[in-house]
Structure 1
């Protein structure tokens, strides 16, 4: 026989209290759930949707939206049916911000620097005068200071020297000397390699006396004599005695004139450019330009031409105004400081 388990009897009064407590707990839970749902719906209605653009706000006035939300919140809603959410308004396309227009710089005319003013001194010497006074005239008519070097012993040597002085130009003795090429005849009154220093000095003094007064002398030909330090030294001794200057025409690369001058403590001048070795206008202009470059660098340039080249006189007359306007100074060796 099965043994019956003992039954626990609960008093009826206690059962009634437990049932009442469960009913109250159910009502409380239902009330709390309804209150939470209504609060959630009210917050959703009153708050503005985050994706509503500025364009939508302008179409829905703010005051009206709030009043409608409040009325919706106050209206009775079933606890188990949530309020429908407001339809979302798509964002209107945003216009790109206008870019500031680039500031156009004021057009300014390019500044052209003024031409550099030149200050070089130009010394022009024209050799081989004395054969014809007419031959020298185009050079005497040039409108700037210059030097004419006159050969001795020619038909119009004296007359040419006098005409040069009358024109206000400077006179040099163009002293003939033998060249390395013995077939070249330097002309009357020349210094020859077989002369003694005394003979050379006497020849030079005679030639000076013929065309004096003179400011100085330079060599005609003479590549052989200028390479002989004793003979060219004798010429320089005469220059010192006569108080005249000496210009080495530099007709040969072996000239000893600078060394003979240093031995005597004497300052001499040296030619920079020959202008008319090729007596063509374009070539002569190029040589003048070369002389200008030397003057720009060194401060002066000594340029030698010849009176047998009338186109050279015409070219210099053509260029004179422009060269003067550039600032170049036309002068002579007697006006230069040693």
Structure 2
């Protein structure tokens, strides 16, 4: 009996030793496989523990630390009140693609969205309006009996002068060419609508205006050549609206002119933009408060204007723009805006006040250039203003009509080519 117990114990020990030596009988590859499988399993367990801990709310971890505290109650955000006034409700919808600071710029360039074109062609930071679509290409006139009364001119003048007052102005800067006084039978007001083409509804409304004006089409607008053709058929002048770098880091759009680009890249972008469509009589800047202050960049722009025999219109988004100096050096005809119509695009009365200010300027110097955008409000105000301005002896002219007068006193304008 004792012998059997000794034999059993010896066999048990032998089995234990055999089990302990089992790795020696495995191949090296199989040993590595077992080792990595074990490590992977340990890593999974450790990761799961960390994941569970990380998922716990911050305040819950604090409760676990202090024990006797209760988790903080999360307060539900208050439900916003419904605004009954449609004007107030509309004011909550942004219509500005670029959050431009009026302390640095004189205009907030705007784009309207009707959902009919490819959003991928727009700057990534663009915020588009949710205005309802126009049911007709022609803006509707004001309802009978509701006469649009302009606001006091003092308020709108102060608003339009924000940039000029806040930016430092070079005391040695030459007197602007826009001060040239024309002798005309009637004062001329040239209305230029920028940003045309990106929004098809806004473009249709602008093209459908009852009076020919000047439409500046965006270089990167989808279907821009077709829209330009329609505008010219309706008797409008066409300009090319070229995106340029602003201050503040906003994105002016695809293929914009930037101060960080090399000369070769700037030339390539100029060629791309200026070849997007034909038939334009001149070019003006979209944004550009930084770029238009850069002499080297504007020199390249003016060289291209001279080659193509078109004028440049400075939208004057910076009081320190060097466009005039570079245009004079290159012998390029230059125009400069006088008034921005719709900085405050939500108030038709303010738009009308700016138009009346343009009339006053035109009576003093023979003409005035007023820049606006194809907002529904702006188009409606223009339709009301057209007959009223004519009744006051104002001629609503395209930019080509102004050039016809200027070429008699400025030889640079005589060198321009008329589009076919």
Q: TM-score scaled by structure 2?
A: 0.50
Q: Which residue matches 1:177?
A: 244
- Between the aligned partners of 1:333 and 1:167, the Cα distance in structure 2 is 15
Conservation of the 8 A alpha-carbon contact between 2:294 and 2:322: yes
- Between the aligned partners of 2:361 and 2:270, the Cα distance in structure 1 is 32
Map residues 102-113 of structure 1 onto 2, 5 A cutoff. none
2:316 aligns to what SS in structure 1?
Answer: coil
RMSD, aligned α-carbons: 1.6
Q: Which residue matches 1:235?
A: 301
**Residue 310 (structure 2) pairs with residue 244 (structure 1):** yes
Match of 2:218 among 131, 151, 168: 151
Conservation of the 8 A alpha-carbon contact between 1:133 and 1:156: no
Q: Which residue matches 1:312?
A: 378
- Between the aligned partners of 2:267 and 2:397, the Cα distance in structure 1 is 29
Of residues 202-211 and 254-263 in structure 1, the stretch that sits farther from structure 2 once superposed is 202-211
Structure 2's unaligned 5+ residue stretches are 1-183, 407-420
Match of 2:191 among 93, 108, 124: 124
**Residue 348 (structure 2) pairs with residue 266 (structure 1):** no
Deviation at 1:240, TM superposition (A): 0.8
Conservation of the 8 A alpha-carbon contact between 2:207 and 2:234: yes
Map residues 75-114 of structure 1 onto 2, 5 A cutoff. none
Deviation at 1:246, TM superposition (A): 0.6
**Residue 237 (structure 2) pairs with residue 167 (structure 1):** no
Match of 1:301 among 368, 373, 377: 368
Deviation at 1:133, TM superposition (A): 2.5
Conservation of the 8 A alpha-carbon contact between 1:124 and 1:146: yes
Q: Which residue matches 1:322?
A: 388
Q: TM-score scaled by structure 1?
A: 0.62
Q: Cα deviation per residue 1:275-332 (whole Å; 9 max; x = unaligned)?
A: 000011111111111111110111100000011x111111111121121122211112
Q: Which residue matches 2:206?
A: 139
Deviation at 1:118, TM superposition (A): 8.0
- Between the aligned partners of 1:273 and 1:197, the Cα distance in structure 2 is 33
Map residues 2-21 of structure 1 onto 2, 5 A cutoff. none
- Between the aligned partners of 1:213 and 1:248, the Cα distance in structure 2 is 19
**Residue 278 (structure 2) pairs with residue 212 (structure 1):** yes
- Between the aligned partners of 1:161 and 1:253, the Cα distance in structure 2 is 31
Q: Which residue matches 1:191?
A: 257
Map residues 251-290 of structure 1 onto 2, 5 A cutoff. 251-279=317-345, 280-290=347-357
Conservation of the 8 A alpha-carbon contact between 1:150 and 1:173: yes
Deviation at 1:198, TM superposition (A): 3.7
2:275 aligns to what SS in structure 1?
Answer: helix
Deviation at 1:264, TM superposition (A): 2.0
2:252 aligns to what SS in structure 1?
Answer: coil
Conservation of the 8 A alpha-carbon contact between 2:305 and 2:332: no
Deviation at 1:158, TM superposition (A): 2.5
1:176 aligns to what SS in structure 2?
Answer: strand
Q: Cα deviation per residue 1:95-143 (whole Å; 9 max; x = unaligned)?
A: xxxxxxxxxxxxxxxxxxxxxx982101001011121322112222222
- Number of aligned positions between the proteins: 220
Find the structure with the greater CA-based Rg.
Answer: 1
Q: Which residue matches 2:359?
A: 292
Deviation at 1:202, TM superposition (A): 2.5
Match of 2:401 among 329, 335, 338: 335
